[in-house]
Amino acid sequence: MKKLFSTLLVLSLFLSANAHALKIKIKRIECGYGKYKIAKSWNFNSTESKKRYFNLFFIISPDDSYAKLYQLVNPYQLDISVYNLTKNLDKISFTPNNGLYGIEYEIERKSGKMTSRYNDKSVYTCNKIDDNFDPKFFLQRFITKNLQIKKMNNKF
């Protein structure tokens, strides 16, 4: 009986330590790619903003089960997608909510590097988003500005 109890105790401690190790430390993640070929129709108010508008912004749920991705589709449209999360000690994987295409993004936990299955050569660098930064507001403000400029420049 003592052996059974000690075995259960060790097993439960191991499982709880493993579950704690899998917990995602940073829930607000911004991933940037680096160099982008920018269309002339994109209007930027600063070099810093120019770099950030192409970034991917992940907001992870408190229970680590899903994440929302905020990204621009073009200068006039914001896309907010929901991804299911799987994680192990080495990686955090993002699978589209519909699950049809498998893992779309993977972040290496140690380095913060993210890869996309759609582009083998692209490696994103991920960092923590400031607590007071709202990616939706940031991107919507950019879209609003671009729409105003586009409407002003349209001939018809």
* 16 part of a folded domain: no
* 3 part of a folded domain: no
Distance CA 6, CA 92 (A): 33
Tokens of 69: 């991705």
With a CB cutoff of 8 Å and minimum separation 6, the contacts of 118 are 104
* 42 part of a folded domain: yes
With a CB cutoff of 8 Å and minimum separation 6, the contacts of 152 are none
* 62 part of a folded domain: yes
Provide the pLDDT for residue 52: 84
The total number of structural domains in the chain stands at 1
pTM as predicted = 0.79
Distance CA 84, CA 42 (A): 31
Query: Residue 46, SS3?
Result: coil
Instruction: State pLDDT tens for residues 91-117.
Output: 999 999 887 778 899 999 999 999 988
Mean pLDDT estimate for the chain: 81
Provide the pLDDT for residue 34: 64
Q: In the predicted model, is pLDDT for residue 126 greater than 50?
A: yes
* 11 part of a folded domain: no
* 47 part of a folded domain: yes
Provide the pLDDT for residue 21: 53
Tokens of 45: 């108010």
**What single-letter amino acid sits at 46?**
S
* 127 part of a folded domain: yes
The range of the structural domain enclosing residue 117 comes to 25-153
Q: In the predicted model, is pLDDT for residue 15 greater than 90?
A: no
